[in-house]
Amino acid sequence: MNLNRRDCLTGALALSVASLGNDALAQSREATLRQVMGGNVNTLDPTVPGASRESAGMSMSIYDRLITFGRKQVNGNWVFDQSVIVPELAERVETSADRRKITLHIRSNATWHDGTPVTAEDIKWSLDRCVSAKSLAPPQFQSGSMYKPEQFRIAGPRVVEILLDEPNRLAIGNLGLPYAIMINSTLAKKHATADDPWALKWLQANAAASGAYMVESFRPGEAVTLRRNPNWKSGPNGKPAHFERVICQSVPEASTRANLVERGDADIVLDLQVSDIAAVRARDVAKVVSNTQTNGFTHISFNTQVAPFNNVKVRQAFAAAFPYNEMFKAALFGRGQPLFGATWSGSPTSPDFPAPMPNHTDLARAKALLVEAGYPNGLDVTFNFALSYAAVAEPMAALMKESLAKIGVNLTIQKLPDTQLSTLQSEKKLSFYMDTGSAWLPATYYFFWVYFTRAQRWNLANWDNPRVFELVNKARTETNQAAYDAYCREMISIMAAETPLVLAFQANIDAVMAKKIDGFTYHFHRQLDYRDLRRV
């Protein structure tokens, strides 16, 4: 290569420009939030089948929904509060007296990222999409009694009505979930095709949104870069978000994520290993905010339709044989909320779920129950869990094996790849296994509806109890709080008596962040919402 005088001069100029730029660079670093994560954002539209959990979190900052939820302080940390409905793209929400009509008044000054105003037609199109597209949204919306486009009606300029056939406790809540994104329909329709009338394909890689952040670049599996939307009006006080820029980067290696946040190169991370979190805490180099995942649970489930677990006594025997405290310590180092050891019997003290169940380790009782069930010589059982959950499940399984051996049960532990476990689970071919469950709308009856009733994939224990099904359906449309609470209590007490599955615990989620990051909130989607965060 020939190096001439011109090249040298250009080089020198570039160097001096670079050094001038250092200040600007430092400033933009201050105004940039960098998150690192082990998973990845694989679509900008969270309703697409196969969308990762991280994608759902990302959509909260890019899109607006009609409403959002409040937040409250619990033990000094911010936690979502679904009892408070906060306006987002709708500035006002009215519910009719019979609770069968919801009227939404769209914000008058709201605009899409391209500057065009948000219209009632856009909202109607977006809601129609939520019940019509071949996506993950329709089954979710059905939980709010929203089934078909005819239920959404334009009732005037910037007014949209939702008509329900029955009052539904979750109807409004559903409008605040990641699936209920409001889409710029004019833009999306340009990319819709005959095969794909709802532009699912195009919206997977492109955004047509009005939210707090605009997508600067999206490289699936690598990084998403967002730029602040200066015209965002749907936030608290109608002000734009704090950070000018957000970088969300996939870093698969957990120890690298820990290094990055410890050295201050990354600002926040939600998925560090337990050992790294302990080290960060000990060295006091970053802030650790721990919250219990209150809308999730880890369960140990029995297949209640197949021997030996179709016998309630076998299930109760197992539930009495598990070494709960030891498992909790070994799997989570005691960091989380136990869901065992409650002192009530008969009816629970609270209608809330998931809450501690009256399960205790009692080997003598376990042994007696097993004899009563007709297994005086014990039995052989296989126990499964997913590979990706092995860090938690493996120590628990070992302790269970040891304890069950004392009542004559020979436990074979079998780890399975995640896809295989989910396939066997949906085909109801697992006899005895461990997994997790969670709900975006953590209402007691909703948990029972999704996880403990009906012949459907997520019926964890393949449990069929007609009374529970009846109670769930009653609770769904019940408008009287006391009656609703009574239904929920009864569901929980039936579950305690029948033991279709054992609730183990709720794990903590530890957000590790630079000391100057403030405002972190634990959300139902268990991901970051960049709109909460500030650098102080």
Q: Which residues bind another protein (CB under 8 A)?
A: 7, 10-11, 14-15, 18, 25, 28-29, 32, 34, 36, 42-43, 48-51, 134, 136, 139-140, 142-143, 204-205, 217, 219-223, 247, 249-253, 255-256, 259-260, 262-263, 265-266, 417-420, 422-423, 426, 437-439, 450-451, 456-458
**CA dist., res. 439 & res. 294, Å (int):** 10
**CA dist., res. 118 & res. 15, Å (int):** 46
Q: Least distance from C-beta 454 to another protein, angstroms?
A: 9
| β strands within 53-158, DSSP E | 67-74, 77-87, 90-95, 101-106, 152-156
Residue type, 43: T
Long-range contacts of residues 11-14, Cβ cutoff 8 Å, at least 24 apart: none
Q: Least distance from C-beta 108 to another protein, angstroms?
A: 34
Local structure of residue 92 (DSSP, 8 states): E
Q: Smaller CB distance to another protein: residue 14 or 405?
A: 14
Q: Smaller CB distance to another protein: residue 43 or 403?
A: 43
Residue among 348, 349, 362, 396 nearest 492 (CA): 348
Q: What is the 3-state secondary structure (H, E, C) of 132-162?
A: HCCCCHHHHHHCCCCCCHHHEEEEECCEEEE
Q: How many CB atoms lie within 10 A of CB 339?
A: 22
Q: Least distance from C-beta 410 to another protein, angstroms?
A: 24
Q: Least distance from C-beta 302 to another protein, angstroms?
A: 20
Contacts of 348 (CB under 8 A, 6+ apart): 342, 355, 489, 492, 493, 496
Q: Tell me if residue 411 falls in helix, strand or coil.
A: strand
**CA dist., res. 439 & res. 443, Å (int):** 8
**CA dist., res. 321 & res. 447, Å (int):** 26
Q: Least distance from C-beta 426 to another protein, angstroms?
A: 5
Residue type, 113: H
Q: Tell me if residue 118 falls in helix, strand or coil.
A: coil
Q: Smaller CB distance to another protein: residue 49 or 115?
A: 49
Q: Least distance from C-beta 120 to another protein, angstroms?
A: 27
**CA dist., res. 222 & res. 49, Å (int):** 20
Q: How far is CA 94 from the centre of its chain?
A: 27
Q: Smaller CB distance to another protein: residue 202 or 375?
A: 202
Residues forming a β-bridge with 502: 300
Contact (CB, 8 A) for 213 and 219: no
User: What Cα–Cα distance (Å) separates residue 227 from each residue in 106, 168, 184, 218, 527?
Assistant: 24, 37, 18, 12, 19
Rg of the Cα atoms in the chain: 26
| Length reported for the chain | 536
Q: Smaller CB distance to another protein: residue 70 or 139?
A: 139
Q: Least distance from C-beta 31 to another protein, angstroms?
A: 11
Q: Least distance from C-beta 96 to another protein, angstroms?
A: 26
Q: Smaller CB distance to another protein: residue 219 or 516?
A: 219
Q: Which DSSP string corresponds to 466-517?
A: HHHHHHHHHHHH---HHHHHHHHHHHHHHHHHH-SEEEEEEEEEEEEE-TTE
Q: Least distance from C-beta 14 to another protein, angstroms?
A: 6
Q: Tokens 């749907």, residue?
A: 234
Q: Least distance from C-beta 262 to another protein, angstroms?
A: 8
Q: Smaller CB distance to another protein: residue 419 or 479?
A: 419
Q: Smaller CB distance to another protein: residue 178 or 308?
A: 178
Q: Smaller CB distance to another protein: residue 17 or 97?
A: 17
Q: Least distance from C-beta 124 to another protein, angstroms?
A: 23
Residue among 208, 424, 480 nearest 306 (CA): 424
- Cis check for the bond before 442: say yes or no (omega within 30 of 0): no
Q: Smaller CB distance to another protein: residue 96 or 388?
A: 388
Q: Smaller CB distance to another protein: residue 89 or 450?
A: 450
Q: Least distance from C-beta 17 to another protein, angstroms?
A: 10
Q: Smaller CB distance to another protein: residue 161 or 276?
A: 276
